[in-house]
Amino acid sequence: MANITKINNKDGSVSFKIKVYKGRSADGRQLKPYTMTYKAPATMKEKQAEKEAERQANLFEEKCKQGVIADNRQTFEVYANYVLDLKRRNGLKDSTYNIYKGLLIRINAGIGHLKIKDIRPQHLNSFYQQLSKKGVRVEHTKAVSRVNIKDLLKKEGLTQEQFVDQAGICLKTLHSAIKGNSIKIESAEKIADTFHVPINKIFKVTGGSEQPLSNKTILEYHRLISTIMTQAEKELLVPFNFASRATPPKAKKPEVNFLEIEDIRKILECLPQEPLKWQSVVYLLIFTGCRRGEIAGLKWDCIDFDKAIITIKNNLLYTPEKGIYLDTPKTETSERIVTFDRSIIPVLQEYKKEQTGEILKSGNKWNRTGFVFCQDNGNPIFPDSINQFLVRFSKKHNLPHINPHAFRHSMVSMLFSDGLDAVTISKRLGHSKVSTTTDIYAHVMENADRTAADSIGRLLLDDTSEKNKPILPFI
Protein backbone atom coordinates (compact mmCIF):
# COMPACT_ATOMS: atom_id res chain seq x y z
CA MET A 1 0.00 0.00 0.00
CA ALA A 2 1.20 3.53 -0.81
CA ASN A 3 2.54 5.74 1.97
CA ILE A 4 1.33 9.39 2.00
CA THR A 5 3.15 12.21 3.83
CA LYS A 6 1.53 15.64 4.10
CA ILE A 7 3.80 18.67 3.56
CA ASN A 8 2.81 22.25 4.48
CA ASN A 9 4.56 24.57 2.03
CA LYS A 10 5.82 28.06 2.94
CA ASP A 11 3.33 29.71 0.58
CA GLY A 12 0.46 28.17 2.50
CA SER A 13 -0.29 25.44 -0.03
CA VAL A 14 -0.34 21.73 0.76
CA SER A 15 1.64 18.94 -0.98
CA PHE A 16 1.66 15.20 -0.47
CA LYS A 17 4.74 12.98 -0.96
CA ILE A 18 3.64 9.53 -2.09
CA LYS A 19 5.88 6.43 -1.77
CA VAL A 20 5.29 2.95 -3.15
CA TYR A 21 7.79 0.43 -1.80
CA LYS A 22 9.46 -2.04 -4.18
CA GLY A 23 10.37 -4.62 -1.55
CA ARG A 24 13.83 -6.13 -1.05
CA SER A 25 16.60 -7.20 -3.42
CA ALA A 26 17.95 -10.75 -3.74
CA ASP A 27 20.55 -10.02 -1.04
CA GLY A 28 17.89 -8.71 1.37
CA ARG A 29 18.50 -4.97 1.01
CA GLN A 30 15.56 -2.58 1.00
CA LEU A 31 15.07 -1.20 -2.51
CA LYS A 32 14.49 2.51 -3.05
CA PRO A 33 10.75 3.17 -3.32
CA TYR A 34 8.94 4.78 -6.24
CA THR A 35 8.04 8.35 -5.33
CA MET A 36 5.86 11.17 -6.61
CA THR A 37 4.62 14.48 -5.26
CA TYR A 38 1.06 15.73 -5.54
CA LYS A 39 0.50 19.46 -4.95
CA ALA A 40 -3.11 20.40 -4.18
CA PRO A 41 -4.57 23.50 -5.86
CA ALA A 42 -4.75 26.54 -3.55
CA THR A 43 -8.54 26.69 -3.93
CA MET A 44 -9.00 23.13 -2.65
CA LYS A 45 -10.03 22.61 0.97
CA GLU A 46 -7.85 20.45 3.24
CA LYS A 47 -10.27 17.47 3.37
CA GLN A 48 -10.70 17.58 -0.40
CA ALA A 49 -6.92 17.73 -0.88
CA GLU A 50 -6.39 14.70 1.37
CA LYS A 51 -9.04 12.74 -0.48
CA GLU A 52 -7.52 13.65 -3.86
CA ALA A 53 -4.06 12.70 -2.57
CA GLU A 54 -5.39 9.25 -1.66
CA ARG A 55 -6.84 8.88 -5.15
CA GLN A 56 -3.54 9.94 -6.74
CA ALA A 57 -1.68 7.48 -4.49
CA ASN A 58 -3.94 4.60 -5.56
CA LEU A 59 -3.44 5.45 -9.23
CA PHE A 60 0.32 5.75 -8.75
CA GLU A 61 0.51 2.42 -6.93
CA GLU A 62 -1.44 0.70 -9.68
CA LYS A 63 0.88 2.08 -12.34
CA CYS A 64 3.88 0.87 -10.34
CA LYS A 65 2.44 -2.63 -10.18
CA GLN A 66 1.83 -2.61 -13.93
CA GLY A 67 5.41 -1.50 -14.59
CA VAL A 68 4.34 1.77 -16.21
CA ILE A 69 6.30 3.82 -13.66
CA ALA A 70 10.03 3.33 -14.10
CA ASP A 71 12.89 4.33 -11.85
CA ASN A 72 14.70 6.88 -13.99
CA ARG A 73 16.82 8.16 -11.12
CA GLN A 74 19.47 5.51 -11.74
CA THR A 75 22.90 6.68 -12.75
CA PHE A 76 24.23 5.72 -16.16
CA GLU A 77 26.87 3.48 -14.58
CA VAL A 78 24.32 1.45 -12.59
CA TYR A 79 21.92 1.17 -15.51
CA ALA A 80 24.67 0.28 -18.02
CA ASN A 81 25.76 -2.71 -15.91
CA TYR A 82 22.12 -3.82 -15.73
CA VAL A 83 21.76 -3.58 -19.53
CA LEU A 84 24.92 -5.57 -20.23
CA ASP A 85 23.89 -8.31 -17.81
CA LEU A 86 20.43 -8.35 -19.41
CA LYS A 87 21.89 -8.70 -22.90
CA ARG A 88 24.29 -11.39 -21.72
CA ARG A 89 21.39 -13.44 -20.39
CA ASN A 90 19.68 -12.96 -23.77
CA GLY A 91 22.62 -14.33 -25.74
CA LEU A 92 25.28 -11.60 -25.95
CA LYS A 93 28.55 -13.39 -26.72
CA ASP A 94 31.25 -13.41 -24.04
CA SER A 95 33.80 -11.82 -26.36
CA THR A 96 31.45 -8.90 -27.07
CA TYR A 97 30.52 -8.61 -23.38
CA ASN A 98 34.19 -8.30 -22.43
CA ILE A 99 34.72 -5.59 -25.06
CA TYR A 100 31.72 -3.64 -23.73
CA LYS A 101 32.96 -3.93 -20.14
CA GLY A 102 36.29 -2.51 -21.26
CA LEU A 103 34.61 0.44 -22.99
CA LEU A 104 32.48 1.15 -19.92
CA ILE A 105 35.55 1.95 -17.82
CA ARG A 106 36.16 5.17 -19.72
CA ILE A 107 32.45 5.88 -20.29
CA ASN A 108 31.65 5.63 -16.59
CA ALA A 109 34.55 7.93 -15.77
CA GLY A 110 33.01 10.53 -18.08
CA ILE A 111 29.23 10.26 -17.69
CA GLY A 112 28.66 7.36 -15.29
CA HIS A 113 27.67 9.71 -12.46
CA LEU A 114 24.83 11.31 -14.47
CA LYS A 115 21.27 10.09 -13.99
CA ILE A 116 19.78 8.39 -17.02
CA LYS A 117 16.96 10.92 -17.19
CA ASP A 118 19.36 13.88 -17.14
CA ILE A 119 21.67 12.84 -19.99
CA ARG A 120 21.45 15.13 -23.01
CA PRO A 121 23.28 15.29 -26.38
CA GLN A 122 25.47 18.11 -25.02
CA HIS A 123 26.87 15.78 -22.34
CA LEU A 124 27.76 13.17 -24.95
CA ASN A 125 29.28 15.65 -27.39
CA SER A 126 31.46 17.02 -24.58
CA PHE A 127 32.51 13.46 -23.68
CA TYR A 128 33.45 12.65 -27.29
CA GLN A 129 35.46 15.88 -27.48
CA GLN A 130 37.39 14.85 -24.38
CA LEU A 131 38.17 11.47 -25.91
CA SER A 132 39.66 13.11 -28.99
CA LYS A 133 42.19 15.15 -27.00
CA LYS A 134 45.83 14.14 -26.74
CA GLY A 135 46.65 12.43 -23.49
CA VAL A 136 43.32 10.62 -23.07
CA ARG A 137 44.86 7.31 -24.10
CA VAL A 138 47.61 6.54 -21.64
CA GLU A 139 49.16 3.28 -22.72
CA HIS A 140 49.79 0.74 -20.00
CA THR A 141 53.35 -0.10 -19.01
CA LYS A 142 54.87 -2.42 -21.59
CA ALA A 143 57.44 -5.20 -21.45
CA VAL A 144 59.93 -6.34 -24.11
CA SER A 145 61.69 -9.72 -23.93
CA ARG A 146 65.43 -9.63 -23.27
CA VAL A 147 66.00 -13.39 -23.73
CA ASN A 148 65.14 -16.01 -26.34
CA ILE A 149 61.74 -17.27 -25.17
CA LYS A 150 61.82 -20.12 -27.69
CA ASP A 151 64.90 -21.48 -25.93
CA LEU A 152 63.07 -21.34 -22.60
CA LEU A 153 60.13 -23.24 -24.08
CA LYS A 154 62.47 -25.88 -25.47
CA LYS A 155 64.20 -26.19 -22.12
CA GLU A 156 60.85 -26.71 -20.37
CA GLY A 157 59.75 -29.19 -23.04
CA LEU A 158 56.60 -27.20 -23.83
CA THR A 159 54.94 -26.34 -27.13
CA GLN A 160 53.65 -22.81 -27.59
CA GLU A 161 50.06 -24.09 -27.35
CA GLN A 162 50.76 -25.90 -24.08
CA PHE A 163 52.54 -22.89 -22.61
CA VAL A 164 49.77 -20.36 -23.34
CA ASP A 165 47.26 -22.75 -21.83
CA GLN A 166 49.27 -22.86 -18.60
CA ALA A 167 50.03 -19.13 -18.58
CA GLY A 168 46.48 -18.01 -19.36
CA ILE A 169 47.48 -15.82 -22.30
CA CYS A 170 46.65 -15.97 -25.99
CA LEU A 171 49.01 -17.37 -28.61
CA LYS A 172 49.19 -13.98 -30.32
CA THR A 173 50.64 -12.43 -27.15
CA LEU A 174 53.28 -15.15 -26.82
CA HIS A 175 54.21 -14.76 -30.47
CA SER A 176 54.63 -11.00 -29.98
CA ALA A 177 56.89 -11.62 -26.98
CA ILE A 178 58.99 -14.11 -28.97
CA LYS A 179 59.42 -11.58 -31.80
CA GLY A 180 60.59 -8.93 -29.33
CA ASN A 181 57.50 -6.76 -29.62
CA SER A 182 56.15 -4.98 -26.54
CA ILE A 183 53.36 -6.69 -24.62
CA LYS A 184 51.25 -5.68 -21.62
CA ILE A 185 52.95 -5.89 -18.26
CA GLU A 186 50.14 -8.16 -17.03
CA SER A 187 50.91 -10.69 -19.78
CA ALA A 188 54.66 -10.47 -19.11
CA GLU A 189 54.05 -11.25 -15.44
CA LYS A 190 52.04 -14.36 -16.39
CA ILE A 191 54.82 -15.55 -18.69
CA ALA A 192 57.47 -15.02 -16.02
CA ASP A 193 55.34 -16.76 -13.38
CA THR A 194 54.86 -19.76 -15.66
CA PHE A 195 58.64 -20.00 -16.14
CA HIS A 196 59.06 -19.54 -12.34
CA VAL A 197 61.50 -16.63 -12.68
CA PRO A 198 61.37 -12.90 -11.79
CA ILE A 199 59.94 -10.74 -14.57
CA ASN A 200 63.16 -8.69 -14.94
CA LYS A 201 65.06 -11.87 -15.83
CA ILE A 202 63.00 -12.21 -19.03
CA PHE A 203 61.63 -8.74 -19.80
CA LYS A 204 62.70 -5.13 -19.92
CA VAL A 205 59.84 -3.00 -18.56
CA THR A 206 59.21 0.39 -20.19
CA GLY A 207 56.66 3.18 -19.83
CA GLY A 208 53.99 4.00 -22.40
CA SER A 209 53.13 7.08 -24.44
CA GLU A 210 50.06 9.31 -24.57
CA GLN A 211 47.99 9.38 -27.75
CA PRO A 212 44.49 10.65 -28.63
CA LEU A 213 41.79 8.14 -29.46
CA SER A 214 40.95 7.65 -33.13
CA ASN A 215 37.54 8.60 -34.52
CA LYS A 216 36.84 4.90 -35.11
CA THR A 217 37.43 4.13 -31.42
CA ILE A 218 35.30 7.08 -30.27
CA LEU A 219 32.47 5.78 -32.47
CA GLU A 220 32.67 2.45 -30.61
CA TYR A 221 32.03 4.33 -27.35
CA HIS A 222 29.14 6.19 -28.97
CA ARG A 223 27.52 3.00 -30.25
CA LEU A 224 27.64 1.39 -26.82
CA ILE A 225 26.11 4.48 -25.17
CA SER A 226 23.40 4.48 -27.84
CA THR A 227 22.68 0.79 -27.21
CA ILE A 228 22.23 1.45 -23.50
CA MET A 229 20.04 4.52 -24.07
CA THR A 230 17.90 2.58 -26.55
CA GLN A 231 17.16 0.07 -23.79
CA ALA A 232 16.30 2.97 -21.45
CA GLU A 233 13.83 4.23 -24.05
CA LYS A 234 12.24 0.78 -24.30
CA GLU A 235 11.84 0.65 -20.54
CA LEU A 236 10.26 4.16 -20.46
CA LEU A 237 13.11 5.65 -18.45
CA VAL A 238 13.61 8.38 -21.06
CA PRO A 239 11.25 9.75 -23.71
CA PHE A 240 13.70 8.82 -26.49
CA ASN A 241 17.32 7.88 -27.10
CA PHE A 242 19.23 11.13 -26.60
CA ALA A 243 22.39 9.53 -28.05
CA SER A 244 20.68 9.62 -31.46
CA ARG A 245 20.78 13.43 -31.23
CA ALA A 246 24.49 13.58 -30.37
CA THR A 247 27.22 14.33 -32.94
CA PRO A 248 30.05 11.80 -32.76
CA PRO A 249 33.05 12.19 -35.08
CA LYS A 250 33.00 10.58 -38.50
CA ALA A 251 35.40 7.78 -39.28
CA LYS A 252 36.64 6.64 -42.64
CA LYS A 253 35.29 3.32 -43.75
CA PRO A 254 38.17 0.81 -43.55
CA GLU A 255 39.29 -0.75 -46.79
CA VAL A 256 38.63 -4.46 -47.09
CA ASN A 257 41.85 -6.46 -47.27
CA PHE A 258 41.76 -9.13 -49.97
CA LEU A 259 44.27 -11.11 -52.00
CA GLU A 260 44.75 -10.89 -55.74
CA ILE A 261 44.03 -13.95 -57.86
CA GLU A 262 47.75 -14.31 -58.59
CA ASP A 263 48.50 -14.39 -54.85
CA ILE A 264 45.91 -17.11 -54.22
CA ARG A 265 47.32 -19.17 -57.09
CA LYS A 266 50.80 -18.81 -55.60
CA ILE A 267 49.45 -19.96 -52.22
CA LEU A 268 47.86 -23.00 -53.89
CA GLU A 269 51.16 -23.83 -55.59
CA CYS A 270 53.07 -23.70 -52.28
CA LEU A 271 50.53 -25.49 -50.07
CA PRO A 272 51.48 -29.11 -51.02
CA GLN A 273 54.85 -28.50 -49.32
CA GLU A 274 53.10 -28.03 -45.96
CA PRO A 275 51.67 -30.62 -43.48
CA LEU A 276 48.27 -32.03 -44.39
CA LYS A 277 46.71 -30.36 -41.36
CA TRP A 278 47.62 -26.87 -42.54
CA GLN A 279 46.87 -27.68 -46.16
CA SER A 280 43.35 -28.58 -45.08
CA VAL A 281 42.94 -25.42 -43.01
CA VAL A 282 43.98 -23.14 -45.87
CA TYR A 283 41.97 -25.01 -48.51
CA LEU A 284 38.82 -24.62 -46.41
CA LEU A 285 39.53 -20.92 -45.81
CA ILE A 286 39.97 -20.33 -49.55
CA PHE A 287 37.10 -22.43 -50.86
CA THR A 288 34.44 -21.72 -48.22
CA GLY A 289 35.10 -18.14 -47.10
CA CYS A 290 34.34 -19.19 -43.53
CA ARG A 291 35.65 -17.29 -40.53
CA ARG A 292 38.73 -18.46 -38.67
CA GLY A 293 36.75 -19.57 -35.61
CA GLU A 294 34.27 -21.49 -37.79
CA ILE A 295 37.09 -23.49 -39.40
CA ALA A 296 38.83 -24.06 -36.04
CA GLY A 297 35.51 -25.23 -34.53
CA LEU A 298 34.71 -27.65 -37.34
CA LYS A 299 34.09 -31.29 -36.42
CA TRP A 300 34.35 -34.31 -38.68
CA ASP A 301 30.65 -35.11 -38.44
CA CYS A 302 29.96 -31.69 -40.00
CA ILE A 303 31.76 -32.61 -43.25
CA ASP A 304 29.79 -34.49 -45.92
CA PHE A 305 32.32 -35.73 -48.48
CA ASP A 306 29.63 -37.21 -50.76
CA LYS A 307 27.86 -33.86 -51.19
CA ALA A 308 31.00 -31.70 -50.73
CA ILE A 309 29.38 -29.58 -48.01
CA ILE A 310 30.19 -28.53 -44.48
CA THR A 311 27.71 -27.56 -41.79
CA ILE A 312 28.73 -24.48 -39.84
CA LYS A 313 27.33 -24.53 -36.31
CA ASN A 314 30.33 -23.76 -34.09
CA ASN A 315 32.69 -20.85 -33.59
CA LEU A 316 35.86 -21.63 -31.64
CA LEU A 317 37.04 -18.72 -29.47
CA TYR A 318 39.64 -18.00 -26.83
CA THR A 319 39.75 -15.57 -23.92
CA PRO A 320 42.25 -15.59 -21.04
CA GLU A 321 39.33 -15.92 -18.59
CA LYS A 322 37.60 -18.89 -20.25
CA GLY A 323 40.38 -20.45 -22.31
CA ILE A 324 39.26 -22.20 -25.52
CA TYR A 325 35.49 -22.50 -25.82
CA LEU A 326 32.78 -23.12 -28.41
CA ASP A 327 30.16 -20.55 -29.28
CA THR A 328 27.61 -20.09 -32.05
CA PRO A 329 28.74 -18.43 -35.30
CA LYS A 330 29.28 -14.68 -35.03
CA THR A 331 26.10 -13.32 -36.62
CA GLU A 332 23.65 -16.18 -36.32
CA THR A 333 22.37 -18.86 -33.99
CA SER A 334 21.18 -21.37 -36.60
CA GLU A 335 23.32 -23.69 -38.71
CA ARG A 336 24.30 -22.89 -42.28
CA ILE A 337 25.43 -25.12 -45.11
CA VAL A 338 28.48 -24.18 -47.19
CA THR A 339 29.55 -26.08 -50.30
CA PHE A 340 33.17 -26.47 -51.38
CA ASP A 341 35.00 -27.56 -54.51
CA ARG A 342 35.47 -31.33 -54.78
CA SER A 343 39.13 -30.88 -55.75
CA ILE A 344 40.08 -30.50 -52.06
CA ILE A 345 38.30 -33.69 -50.91
CA PRO A 346 41.37 -35.96 -51.44
CA VAL A 347 43.49 -33.72 -49.18
CA LEU A 348 40.83 -33.68 -46.43
CA GLN A 349 40.41 -37.45 -46.62
CA GLU A 350 44.17 -38.03 -46.52
CA TYR A 351 44.44 -35.72 -43.50
CA LYS A 352 41.61 -37.61 -41.76
CA LYS A 353 43.45 -40.87 -42.41
CA GLU A 354 46.64 -39.37 -40.97
CA GLN A 355 44.81 -38.14 -37.86
CA THR A 356 43.22 -41.57 -37.34
CA GLY A 357 46.71 -43.06 -37.30
CA GLU A 358 47.80 -40.56 -34.66
CA ILE A 359 44.76 -41.42 -32.53
CA LEU A 360 45.60 -45.13 -32.68
CA LYS A 361 49.22 -44.44 -31.69
CA SER A 362 48.22 -42.17 -28.78
CA GLY A 363 45.61 -44.53 -27.35
CA ASN A 364 44.14 -43.19 -24.12
CA LYS A 365 46.26 -40.03 -24.32
CA TRP A 366 44.10 -38.72 -27.18
CA ASN A 367 40.99 -36.79 -26.16
CA ARG A 368 38.31 -37.83 -28.64
CA THR A 369 36.74 -34.40 -29.12
CA GLY A 370 35.83 -34.92 -32.77
CA PHE A 371 37.49 -31.70 -33.91
CA VAL A 372 38.98 -31.69 -37.40
CA PHE A 373 41.94 -29.56 -36.32
CA CYS A 374 43.53 -30.57 -33.03
CA GLN A 375 46.53 -30.18 -30.84
CA ASP A 376 48.73 -33.26 -30.35
CA ASN A 377 46.40 -34.53 -27.59
CA GLY A 378 43.11 -34.21 -29.49
CA ASN A 379 42.05 -30.93 -27.90
CA PRO A 380 40.96 -28.15 -30.27
CA ILE A 381 43.64 -25.81 -31.60
CA PHE A 382 44.03 -22.24 -30.41
CA PRO A 383 42.33 -20.04 -33.05
CA ASP A 384 45.45 -17.82 -33.12
CA SER A 385 47.58 -20.77 -34.26
CA ILE A 386 46.02 -20.40 -37.72
CA ASN A 387 47.30 -16.83 -37.91
CA GLN A 388 50.71 -17.94 -36.72
CA PHE A 389 50.96 -20.60 -39.43
CA LEU A 390 49.98 -18.11 -42.14
CA VAL A 391 52.68 -15.69 -40.96
CA ARG A 392 55.32 -18.41 -41.14
CA PHE A 393 53.94 -19.68 -44.46
CA SER A 394 53.98 -16.25 -46.13
CA LYS A 395 57.57 -15.55 -45.00
CA LYS A 396 58.76 -18.99 -46.08
CA HIS A 397 57.36 -18.62 -49.60
CA ASN A 398 57.94 -14.87 -50.02
CA LEU A 399 54.21 -14.11 -50.13
CA PRO A 400 52.38 -10.95 -49.04
CA HIS A 401 51.07 -10.79 -45.48
CA ILE A 402 48.17 -13.23 -45.11
CA ASN A 403 45.47 -13.35 -42.46
CA PRO A 404 42.46 -15.72 -42.36
CA HIS A 405 39.90 -13.01 -43.09
CA ALA A 406 41.72 -12.02 -46.29
CA PHE A 407 40.54 -15.30 -47.86
CA ARG A 408 36.95 -14.47 -46.92
CA HIS A 409 37.19 -11.03 -48.54
CA SER A 410 38.91 -12.51 -51.61
CA MET A 411 36.13 -15.04 -52.11
CA VAL A 412 33.51 -12.29 -51.99
CA SER A 413 35.46 -10.21 -54.51
CA MET A 414 35.66 -13.15 -56.90
CA LEU A 415 31.98 -14.02 -56.54
CA PHE A 416 30.80 -10.45 -57.10
CA SER A 417 33.15 -10.08 -60.08
CA ASP A 418 31.79 -13.32 -61.51
CA GLY A 419 28.25 -11.93 -61.36
CA LEU A 420 26.82 -13.72 -58.31
CA ASP A 421 24.02 -11.87 -56.51
CA ALA A 422 24.34 -10.29 -53.05
CA VAL A 423 21.65 -12.50 -51.48
CA THR A 424 23.47 -15.74 -52.34
CA ILE A 425 26.83 -14.33 -51.22
CA SER A 426 25.35 -13.05 -47.96
CA LYS A 427 23.89 -16.46 -47.18
CA ARG A 428 27.23 -18.15 -47.87
CA LEU A 429 29.03 -15.69 -45.57
CA GLY A 430 26.52 -16.22 -42.76
CA HIS A 431 25.51 -12.56 -42.52
CA SER A 432 22.20 -12.06 -40.75
CA LYS A 433 21.21 -9.31 -43.23
CA VAL A 434 22.01 -8.79 -46.89
CA SER A 435 22.60 -5.11 -46.07
CA THR A 436 25.60 -6.18 -43.94
CA THR A 437 27.19 -7.72 -47.02
CA THR A 438 26.43 -4.76 -49.28
CA ASP A 439 27.70 -2.26 -46.69
CA ILE A 440 31.01 -4.05 -46.16
CA TYR A 441 31.64 -4.82 -49.81
CA ALA A 442 30.17 -1.71 -51.45
CA HIS A 443 33.40 -0.84 -53.26
CA VAL A 444 33.80 -4.45 -54.42
CA MET A 445 30.30 -4.31 -55.90
CA GLU A 446 31.15 -1.06 -57.66
CA ASN A 447 34.26 -2.63 -59.21
CA ALA A 448 32.24 -5.69 -60.21
CA ASP A 449 29.64 -3.43 -61.86
CA ARG A 450 32.41 -1.69 -63.84
CA THR A 451 33.77 -5.10 -64.91
CA ALA A 452 30.26 -6.13 -65.96
CA ALA A 453 29.83 -2.94 -68.01
CA ASP A 454 33.19 -3.50 -69.72
CA SER A 455 32.25 -7.11 -70.43
CA ILE A 456 28.97 -6.09 -72.05
CA GLY A 457 30.79 -3.59 -74.22
CA ARG A 458 33.42 -6.15 -75.17
CA LEU A 459 30.84 -8.80 -76.01
CA LEU A 460 28.66 -6.46 -78.09
CA LEU A 461 31.26 -4.29 -79.77
CA ASP A 462 34.45 -6.36 -79.96
CA ASP A 463 34.20 -9.12 -82.54
CA THR A 464 37.52 -10.60 -81.43
CA SER A 465 36.39 -11.19 -77.84
CA GLU A 466 36.74 -14.68 -76.45
CA LYS A 467 33.12 -15.35 -75.49
CA ASN A 468 33.84 -18.45 -73.44
CA LYS A 469 36.78 -17.07 -71.48
CA PRO A 470 35.86 -16.53 -67.78
CA ILE A 471 36.43 -13.06 -66.38
CA LEU A 472 38.20 -14.39 -63.29
CA PRO A 473 39.73 -17.82 -63.97
CA PHE A 474 40.60 -19.71 -60.80
CA ILE A 475 42.66 -22.82 -60.38
DSSP for 79-110 reads HHHHHHHHHHHTT--HHHHHHHHHHHHHHHHH
Strand ranges of the sheet holding 183-184, from the earlier edge strand across to the other edge: 183-184, 142-145, 203-206
* Residue 71 counted as domain residue: no
Distances (CA, A) of 271 to 8, 222, 308, 375: 87, 44, 20, 20
The residue range of the domain holding 365 is 256-475
CATH number of the domain that 105 lies in?
1.10.150
Q: What is the pLDDT of residue 208?
A: 55
Strand ranges of the sheet holding 3-8, from the earlier edge strand across to the other edge: 3-8, 14-20, 34-39
* Residue 250 counted as domain residue: no
Residues 6+ apart with CB under 8 A from 100: 84, 92, 224
Pick from 284, 131, 296: which is nearest to 222 by CA?
A: 131
Distances (CA, A) of 173 to 128, 230, 268, 324: 30, 36, 29, 15
Mean pLDDT of the residues in the chain: 84
CATH number of the domain that 145 lies in?
1.10.260.40
How many structural domains is the chain composed of?
Answer: 4
Q: What is the pLDDT of residue 433?
A: 81
Do residues 410 and 340 both lie within one domain?
yes
Quote the radius of gyration of the chain (alpha carbons, Å): 30
Domain edge (last residue) among 12, 37, 66: 66
Residues 6+ apart with CB under 8 A from 443: 255, 256
Query: Which tens digits make up the pLDDT trace of 136-183?
Result: 655 556 888 989 999 899 988 888 888 887 888 888 889 889 988 888
Separation CA 250–CA 379 (nearest Å):
44
Query: Which tens digits make up the pLDDT trace of 426-463?
Result: 888 888 788 777 777 776 666 656 655 565 555 556 65
Average the pLDDT over 19-31 and give the result.
Answer: 75
Separation CA 347–CA 414 (nearest Å):
23
Furthest C-alpha separation in the chain: 101
Do residues 61 and 95 both lie within one domain?
no
Do residues 225 and 336 both lie within one domain?
no
Do residues 458 and 366 both lie within one domain?
yes
DSSP 191-226: HHHHHTS-HHHHEEEE---EEPPPHHHHHHHHHHHH
Query: Which tens digits make up the pLDDT trace of 182-224?
Result: 888 888 888 988 888 888 889 888 765 556 788 889 999 999 9
Do residues 284 and 266 both lie within one domain?
yes
Do residues 416 and 270 both lie within one domain?
yes
**pTM of the complete model:** 0.62
